[in-house]
Amino acid sequence: MEVLNKIRLHYATKPNEEIQMAEGQRFYVRQASGIVRNISPLNAMALASGCSNLAGATAAMFIWMPYLYPGADLVWSIIIAVILSLAQGALYAIFAASMPRAGGDYIYISRTLHPALGFAGSFAFMATMVAYSGILCWLQVGLLSSAFVLLGQIFSIKPALDFGVWMMGQDGLLIMGTVMLLVAFGTVVFGIKTLRSIIMMLFAIGTVWALLTIGILGTTSLSTFQALLDKFVGTPGTYQNIIAAAKSEGFTTRPVNLYDTLGAVVLVIWGIYGYWTSSYYAGEMKELRRNAVTSILGTVVVWGIFAVLFAALLVRATGFDFLASAGYLYYSKPDLLSLSVPPTLPFLEAIMTQNVVVGLVIAVGLMAWSFIYFPSYFTPMSRVLFAWSWDRIAPAKFASISKRFASPYIAVAIIAALFEFFLIAWLYKPEFFMVNLFFTYVPLYCLIGISGLIFPYVKKQIYEKSAMKPSIAGIPVISICGAVTIITWLIIAYFIMANPAIVGEVSTFTIVMTAGVYLLAILIYYIAVYYHKSRGMDIRLIFKEVPPA
Amino acid sequence: MKKRKTRVFFTADIHGSELCYRKFINTPRYYECNVILLSGDLTGKAMVPILNLQNGTYEAEFLDKKHVMRSLEEVQALEGQIRSVGYYPYRTTADELRSLDKAAVEAVFRKLMIESITQWIALAERHLKDTDVKCYVMPGNDDIFEIDSTFNNSGLVVNPEGKAIPLDDTHEMISTGYTNITPWKCPRDISEEELAKKIEGMVASVGDIKNSIFNFHCPPYGTNLDTAPQLDENLRPVVKGPTIVTTSAGSTAVMDAVQKYQPLMGLHGHIHESSGFQKIGRTMCFNPGSEYTEGILRGFIIDLDEKGIKDFTRVES
């Protein structure tokens, strides 16, 4: 710690000041380029939270969980999911601390296992993400919709309310989803500084939203919610009617049990997904990389704390039976649900909000989260296309940078176009989606788990140099986390297969299609290898080990 | 494999990592290249004192861990690890350490850097002496001027700074390790005007500019090869909300020269985070980036023939 304090003392000086040596100093750094201070843990957490969108993730979680697993203890499901996510987060964090300029799981898998597997994993990631665009749009437009519903309600502006409701219809989702994609495209490609500054401001407000949500949920009693719900719908007894309607269709909740609680963990993991894609930046002094590890894990913990509070307070305010019944009706029998909006957390919160100022801040916060989401995904996804291009698997054009805007315009345009295509497909031709989307992730994260498991042994040279190599009973933590990650995703696979209502049926056809995605990627990789070999260049040299002379 | 006209292995920014350097001089055997190029930023940034406690034991702090060594073999093993990440081990005593003032520390650094480069040159000469490999090693903006003279006595390892050098019958290379001014005001940081003048001076000596190679340590401004995190006055990356703010740190003089003369290719480094390649007009520019602290040697293999760049691939080891 004394050494680290001394190093921090160095970095407190201006660039052209001399480094002062204190007595007992054990480490000397000269004036050299690239010596930067580490970003603060708070900043690193902000980077991670862009992808792990708190509002977007929790929006539908609290109706999916009780609907799909009507005996789940929501709080314990979140806690278990957070613990498992900490393991995967630690795996990524230690990889990132060991190889900060590597470039994410594509490189981790390529370096540790095989480049064909690395490409297959990243191809599956990209294919699934773009195919998911419809669902992502639904979530993000939903946040915007709930903001307008809230504004319409607290200011008694019917057009705002109607606009919010319209957004969640098929045409509304298409138009608003397209608008949000264009805004994201503009932000990333044209680098519209003003827009970026606004988004940064909205991000801060989005954080305030989370705190206000706790306040709203915590100060609303069950009886108050029932009355507000009746007022919103305009029909007395709405609350009881929803529960009764579900019951009449054969849906009931059951006593809390371990199976349902574990099943609901899958949905939480889906919600927290993405926290490891933070644009973590590490300086070149290996001693100072620990901050990023704790920051990535800190993001998971903070997310988990908010999610637990949301869950506990939401159940207290609305009742588990209501959440489960509303979820069941929304997804299975929407005609019987006497609500014009999805019963997600933002909408329920909108119904509960009575204070105009608080309501306005919450509405703006929800808008903030909705507009942050797509840019947060465009950047890492465009980096994947870049990586393919640099590895000569994809055309060099994919890595083109706009001279005028200094942005990866071709890569982002491809992603935006694919997002739009799959949004339209999801809205108007849902039968188009032959692949169980979430299931496609299972092999990818098993691959990253295996990579973590064996990394200290097969890449000893890199691992031994890492500034972060914690171990427990002599076993590297990254190996333990790799094993936990594999087990986690196999459990996820089991629950996905056991409950088709989660993300669709996992039939033999689904498994074949999932395998097909990976095999297609491997085929593409070897076609690229063959093409370049015919020109005299073996691109398998990319990861060939050259021993030191 | 078919014999190519010229296969270049290009890397940069190893910053004192002896492991990366040893891999560099071994690349001809594994990549079948006949020209190897290490362009810029050769020397390390930090020094790790190894204290002789005068009772048969030695002590050092390295990577947040205290090392206690009881034999010279153990000391040598730790020194090897220290060198592999680009730091310099320095055997000393507690008394000497206490007496080191700013000037003395700088003198120690200079001595260690010169010794290191001298040893590296000797290593390359031993390893490549029976081959026809052309080896070019160029100091960059981070490197002190005192190391330049270490190349003078080597017939095999050539410092290409400021010269027009034929790589083969078709391609000439001009090189400079100078860059534009950085926040750290390094030894070879110069103004854009001075850099432009330097480049113009070299271009004048090139015969066939269209087939030439611009081996300039600083990448062209405003490309995907020069994107670096923006730093505040305390040299901390600027974070705004969920993103790190980035800026272009490359050189306008280099960009102007590439756009004006349109050589065959540009070879650059300097910005470790910005690995990749980008075409500027007809000129393909490369920056391998750097992961020297992990002991990973990053580079590009580029095949050249009479028509130009036949093919290329990035590599890492």
How does pLDDT run across A207-230, given as a tens digit for each residue? 788 888 999 999 999 999 999 999
Question: Do A537 and B310 lie within an 8 Å CB cutoff?
Answer: yes
- Nearest alpha carbon to residue A521 among A127, A130, A129, A132: A127
pLDDT, residue B119, reads 95
Option in B236, B237, B242 nearest A50 (CB): B242
Which residues on A lie below 8 Å from B237 (Cβ)?
36-37, 39, 43, 281
Whether A26 has a pLDDT exceeding 80, the answer reads no
What are the residues facing B38 on neighbouring strands? B11, B137
pLDDT of residue B133: 96
Q: Which among B45, B240, B316 has the least Cβ separation from residue A200?
A: B240
Rounded to an integer, the average pLDDT of A153-178 is 88
Select, from the ranges A363-372, A392-401, B160-169, the one with the highest average predicted confidence (pLDDT).
B160-169
Q: Which of A484, A521, A234 is nearest to A393 (CA)?
A: A521
Return the half-sphere exposure (C-beta side, CA atoms, 13 A cut-off) of residue B130: 1
More confident residue, A109 or A302: A109
| Most B-contacting residue of A29, A33, A195, A199 (CB-CB within 10 A), to test interface | A33
Residues in contact with A9: Cβ distance below 8 Å, sequence separation at least 6, in sequence order: A20, A22
Cβ <8 Å between B64 and A36 = no
Q: Give the containing element (helix H, strand E) for A383.
A: helix A356-390
Q: What is the pLDDT of residues A73-85, one digit of tens each?
A: 999 999 999 999 9
Sign of CA dihedral A15, A20, A26, A28: positive
Question: Does B316 touch chain A if contact means CB atoms closer than 8 Å?
Answer: yes
Looking up tokens 């020297």 gives B292
Q: How far is CA A5 from CA A54, A174, A338, B59, in A?
A: 34, 54, 61, 20
Contacts of B31 in chain A (CB under 8 A): 541, 544, 546
Nearest CB neighbour to B45, from listed A12, A32, A44: A32
Q: Are A311 and A74 in contact (CB under 8 A)?
A: yes
Tell me how far apart the alpha carbons of residues B52 and B281 are, in angstroms, rounded to a whole number.
Answer: 58
Tell me: ipTM over 0.95.
Answer: no
The mean-pLDDT minimum among A87-101, A187-201, A441-455 falls in A187-201
DSSP state of A19: P
- The structure tokens 């300086």 sit at A283
Compare CB distances from B235 to A11, A286, A408 and report the shortest one's residue. Answer: A11
The closest alpha carbon to A163, from A426, A420, A341, belongs to A341
- The amino acid at residue A345 is L
Question: Which pLDDT belongs to residue B139?
Answer: 97
Q: Is A472 on the interface with B (CB under 8 A)?
A: no
Q: Is the minimum CB–CB distance between B301 and chain A shorter than 8 Å?
A: yes
Write out the E strands in A22-177: 28-29
First to last CA, chain A: 36
Option in A33, A35, A287 nearest B141 (CB): A33
Residue B191 predicted with pLDDT over 50: yes
Per-residue pLDDT band at A139 (split at 50, 70, 90)? confident
Q: Is the pLDDT of residue A15 over 50?
A: no
Residue B63 contacts A where some CB pair is shorter than 8 Å: yes
- Is residue B195 over pLDDT 90? yes
Give the one of B243, B273, B293 whose C-beta lies nearest to A50's C-beta. Answer: B243
What is the percent of chain A where pLDDT is above 90?
34
Contact B243 A536 (CB under 8 A): no
Q: CA of B60, closest CA in chain A: separation in Å?
A: 7
pLDDT of residue A107: 85
Are B22 and A549 in contact (CB < 8 Å)?
Answer: yes
- Which candidate from B185, B279, B293 shows the least CB-CB separation from A286? B293
Tell the residue number behind the tokens 């100093």, with chain if given.
Answer: A25
Residues of B in contact with A462 (CB under 8 A): 294-296
CB contact B242 to A (< 8 Å): yes
3-state secondary structure of A467: coil
DSSP letter for B292, please: G
pLDDT at A432: 62
Residue A30 in contact with partner chain B when CB distance is under 8 A = yes
Q: Which of A8, A9, A10, A28 to mutate to test the interface with B (most CBs of B within 10 A)?
A: A28
Lowest mean pLDDT among A206-210, B13-17, B37-41, B78-82: A206-210
Which pLDDT tens digit goes with each residue over A468-491?
Answer: 788 999 999 999 999 999 999 999
User: pLDDT tens for residues B87-140?
Assistant: 999 999 988 888 888 888 889 999 999 999 999 999 999 999 999 999 999 999
Amino acid code (one letter) for A382 = S
Question: Over 50: is that where the pLDDT of A6 sits?
Answer: no
Taking an 8 Å cut-off on Cβ atoms, the answer to whether B63 and A391 are in contact is no
Residues A376 and A51: beta-carbon distance below 8 Å: yes
What DSSP line would sit under A188-208, residue for residue?
III--HHHHHHHHHHHHHHHH
Q: What is the pLDDT of residue A524?
A: 96
Report the DSSP beta bridge partners of residue B278: B285
Q: What is the DSSP letter of A343?
A: -
Which one of B240, B290, B291, B292 would you mutate to disrupt binding with A, by most A Cβ within 10 Å of its Cβ? B240
Contact state of B248 with A38 under an 8 Å Cβ cutoff:
no
Q: In one letter, which amino acid is B96?
A: E
Q: Which of A399, A545, A546 sits opposite B224 (nearest CB)?
A: A399
Whether residues B239 and A376 touch (CB distance < 8 A) is answered with: no
Q: How far is CA A112 from CA A124, A460, A463, B7, in A?
A: 18, 10, 11, 28
Contact of B271 with B217, CB cutoff 8 Å: no
Count CB-CB contacts under 10 A for residue B48. 23
Q: Which of B60, B100, B244 shows the shortest C-beta gap to A47?
A: B244
Residue whose structure tokens are 């054990």: A26
pLDDT at A358 over 60: yes
Place of tokens 């188009």: A432
Nearest to B272 among A32, A101, A548 (CB): A101
Contacts of A541 in chain B (CB under 8 A): 30-31, 301, 313, 315
- Non-local (6+) Cβ contacts of B88 within 8 A are B16, B44, B46, B47, B48, B82, B109, B112, B113, B116
Tell me the pairing of strands B276-280 and B283-287. Answer: antiparallel
Residues 316 through 345 of chain A touching chain B, CB cutoff 8 Å: none
Instruction: Give me the residues of B, 152-171, that contact A with CB < 8 A.
Output: none
Segment among A42-51, A352-361, A489-498 with least mean pLDDT: A42-51
Residues A60 and A270 sit within 8 Å (Cβ to Cβ): no
Confidence of residue A508 (pLDDT cuts 50, 70, 90): confident
A4, A30, A392: which to substitute to probe chain B, counting the most B Cβ within 10 Å? A30
- The whole-number pLDDT of residue A200 equals 65
3-state secondary structure labels for all residues of A420-435: HHHHHHHHHCHHHCCC
The pLDDT value recorded for residue B263 is 98
Q: What is the structure's pLDDT at A356?
A: 78
User: A234 exposed, middle or buried (CB, 10 Å; 0-12, 13-18, 19+)?
Assistant: exposed
Residues A358 and A154: their CA atoms lie apart, in Å, by: 10
Q: What is the pLDDT of residue A44?
A: 60
CA distance linking residue B267 with residue B184, whole number of Å = 23
- Across the interface, whether the CB atoms of B2 and A536 are under 8 A apart is answered yes
Contact B85 A286 (CB under 8 A): yes
> Is some CB atom of chain A closer than 8 A to the CB atom of B53?
no
What average pLDDT does this structure show over A176-198? 74
Give the H or E element holding residue B315: strand B308-316
Distance (Å, rounded) from C-alpha A397 to C-alpha A336?
51
More reliable by pLDDT, A6 or A308:
A308
- Asked if pLDDT for residue A544 goes beyond 90, the answer is no
pLDDT at B102: 84
Q: Which of B19, B236, B256, B303 to mutate to test the interface with A (most CBs of A within 10 A)?
A: B236
Q: Which residues of B touch A406 (CB under 8 A)?
A: 222-224, 227, 248
Burial class (CB in 10 A: 0-12, 13-18, 19+), A53: buried
Number of Cβ within 10 Å of residue B76's Cβ equals: 11
Identify which of A38, A200, A465 has the shortest CB distance to residue B241: A200
Give the rounded percent of residues in chain B with a pLDDT score beyond 70: 97
Task: Check CB contact of B25 with chain A, cutoff 8 Å.
Answer: yes
Which amino acid belongs to residue A93? Answer: A
Please identify which residue in the block is written with the tokens 């296309």. Answer: A385
Which residues 244-263 in chain B show a CB within 8 A of chain A? 244, 248
Contacts of A547 in chain B (CB under 8 A): 23, 26
pLDDT tier at A23 (50, 70, 90 boundaries)? Answer: very low
pLDDT, position A202? 66
pLDDT digits (tens, 9 = 90+) for B163-176: 999 999 999 999 99
**pLDDT of A10 over the 60 cut:** no
Which of the four pLDDT bands, split at 50, 70 and 90, describes residue B237? confident
Query: Could you read off the pLDDT of B3-35 as tens digits, one per residue?
Result: 557 999 999 999 999 999 999 999 999 999 999
Residues whose CB is less than 8 angstroms from the CB of residue A421 and which lie 6 or more positions away in sequence, other chains included: A130
Q: Do B276 and A390 touch (CB under 8 A)?
A: yes
Short-list B216, B218, B215, CA closest to B271: B218
Enter the DSSP assignment of A186.
I
Q: With beta carbons under 8 A apart, name residues in chain B contacting A40.
A: 236, 239
The three-point CA angle B171-B174-B175 to 5° equals: 135
* Partner-chain residue, chosen from A49, A461, A536, that has the shortest CB–CB distance to B242: A49
Q: Does any CB of chain B come closer than 8 Å to the CB of residue A523?
A: no
**Token pair for residue B316?**
């890492």
Position A472 scores a pLDDT of 94
Total-model pTM = 0.83
With CB atoms and an 8 Å threshold, state whether B234 touches A11. yes
